[in-house]
A and B are shown apart, each in its own frame.
Chain A
Amino acid sequence: MFKYITRRMFWSIVTLFTILILLFLLLQFLPGTPFNDEKLSEASKALLNAKYGLDQPFFSRFGIYMKNILTEFDFGISLSIQRNWMVKNIVLPRLGISVRIGLQALALGTFMGIILGVLSASKKNTWVDTLATLIAIVGVSIPSYVFALLLSYVFGFKIPIFSIIFNFNDPIKSSILPTIALSMFVMAQVTRFLRTELIEVLGSDYIRLVEAKGVSKFKVIYRHGLRNALISVITILGPLTVTLLTGSLVVEKVYAVPGIGSLLVNGILTNDYNVIVMIAFVYSALYITMNLFVDILYGIIDPRIRVAKGA
């Protein structure tokens, strides 16, 4: 087990490092320097030079860049959004709301998905199943920003229960619509996956044995079926994280949520490279951590994976 975990961690770190190198290389190709600002005095130019080593040769610049990131989490200064602010001071305060909405959506979507999946698998080939499958395929097909637009039109405008754009004074209530919009895809994926998985588990021999013992249908599904089916649902957590990240960009844009998704969109539109690079790094780190978490969790739950992958 230890060998398996260290191996996974090693590859995660390699990936993260590769991303850092790519990001650094990318910055070298981009036009413009922090010195575009005419108001910048000679003294502050010298200060920036010393801190980020902009007058140094390529490799020492890379060294300084890495050192700044690894020791101080410093990705440089903002070029346009909040000029001359440290990027980390812009990004980090906005991280909380994005992560919170993402986690809420993940929780809500998984919960709804489990309910729909169980209903659909236990009532296989009835109208309940058809309805759940239909909801799931619609959820997979329709982009999250369409859901976001629809929800804000219906519950923000036609029936004004919620505010259309994010309200700072009421962050909990304002996060409800974005959460629902984001959770649709999660719900749909969990439903689809759980349905196939649960149908297979319920068809296996040990379930038939449990049924033969006279255990109630409810107990068969929840105690014996669902537990085993849920193990493999864990594997889609990784891909779902990507969807949540992608979705957060558009959903935050639609509701004007002050998170890193909308910041990234702003950064792209105003060419604020350092902001983009830092958020790209944060996204990658979130994704890689999630994948690592899933792999380790799976290794603990299912010994076969550990043996196959760790050898």
Chain B
Amino acid sequence: MTEHKKELFKRLEPKEYVTQELISNEEPKFFRDAYRRFKKNKGAHIALFMIIGILFLAAFGPLIGGHVYNEVITQHINLPPRVPFIENLGILNGMRDNVNIYLQKGFNDVYYWFGADGLGRDLWVRVWMGTRISFLVAFVAVLIDVIIGISYGLISGYYGGKVDMVMQRFVEIISGIPNLVVVILLVLVLKPGLQSIIFALMITGWISMSRVVRSQVLKLKELEFVLAARTLGASSFVIILKEILPNIIGQIIVMTMFSIPSAIFYESFLAFVGLGLQPPLASLGVLISTGYQSLLIYPHMVIFPVLVLSLLMLSFNLVADGLRDAFDPKMKGF
């Protein structure tokens, strides 16, 4: 056996290592494959367009329709929905109990597309303003997942040992407390509103993401390519960023997508209970909560926000399902 002299080996600097990495070009193919699989899933594809449509309406809906947010017109209270042109088809024509309320009251040229609420405010504008809140919460949930969840899972999984022990005990205790309790206690200390919802999401929202990331990292860090990178002299930071992260990006995207509907649900749920956004601000939950008190007489006040909320949740769930099947058909249970 020939003797391996120390001079024969050269330790690579991290910089050289990174430039070598650029040669391999695996990721685009991975995403192309995933997209191909996603495209086959018709439900998820339709849902994606649905989300884009709702996003568009949330952005521009309040500008059209001819009414202003939070404008109170007392003569117009409880008016049923009436849309030009569609009214000729026999639906959304301002009728209630076979009487056209608009004509009865002499508002021949007034149109409330989704009707008006108990204070005479336009529900079309309020529903889309409320949808904006849902999207905002969704965005925050994604941000929390990405910033806290991923880094927590990466650190805990990669460093292992005592760090992992301590971090996992912490997660165990936090996840032992039901979300509901955390949120309620927070809202009691802070005031009900968007800030406390966001704060509550920050405490509980990242846990499942960190768990998935950790378990993936535990699996990956034992594999040969990580060992190879370490032998080549890559620092922990580079290994995490360049070797491990690209390999779990699929799971990360899927988990993020799943956290969106649950965050949207939480916001609307809190609003419904009276812990969320406070009227006169509108969120879908606030609208449903105020509308359901007069459900039997004025069902239109509940139907539209419920419809938008349900469609939004359904679409996000369908897209998340589609992405899961596209990225990792074997992943399940989340």
Contact = CB atoms under 8 A, between A and B. Distances in A.
B176 A153 contact: no
A273 B180 CA distance: 16
Interface size classification for chain A: 35 or more
B262 to A, nearest CB: 10
B188 A143 contact: no
Interface stretch (B106-114, B120-128, B144-152, B269-277): B269-277
Interface string A139-154: 0111101100100110
A108 interface: no
The bracket for how many chain B residues form the interface is 35 or more
A177 interface: no
Contacts of B189: 26, 29-30
B185 A22 contact: yes
Contact of A15 (B176, B296, B299): B176
Nearest to A247: B269
Nearest to A248: B180
A156 to B, nearest CB: 9
B314 A146 contact: no
B8 interface: no
A143 B313 contact: yes
Contacts of A280: 181, 184-185
Contacts of A276: 184-185, 188
Contact of B333 (A11, A15, A196): A196
A108 B208 CA distance: 27
Interface string A235-262: 1100000100110011001100000000
A19 B302 contact: no
Given A253-B273, A268-B274, A269-B274, A30 B265 contact: no
Nearest to A290: B178
10 nearest interchain CB pairs? A15-B176, A141-B314, A141-B313, A196-B332, A280-B181, A287-B178, A141-B317, A142-B310, A246-B180, A15-B173
28 contacts: A11-B173, A14-B173, A29-B189, A137-B317, A137-B321, A141-B313, A141-B314, A141-B316, A141-B317, A145-B269, A146-B306, A146-B309, A146-B310, A149-B288, A149-B306, A153-B295, A193-B332, A196-B333, A246-B178, A249-B180, A249-B273, A250-B269, A250-B273, A265-B273, A268-B273, A280-B184, A283-B181, A284-B176
Given A143-B309, A264-B184, A271-B188, 14 more contacts: A11-B173, A137-B321, A141-B310, A141-B317, A143-B265, A146-B288, A149-B306, A193-B332, A242-B180, A250-B269, A254-B292, A268-B188, A280-B181, A287-B176
Interface of A: 11-12, 14-16, 18-19, 22-23, 26, 29-30, 137-138, 140-143, 145-146, 149, 152-153, 157, 193, 196-197, 232, 235-236, 242, 245-246, 249-250, 253-254, 264-265, 268-269, 271, 273, 276, 280, 283-284, 287-288, 291
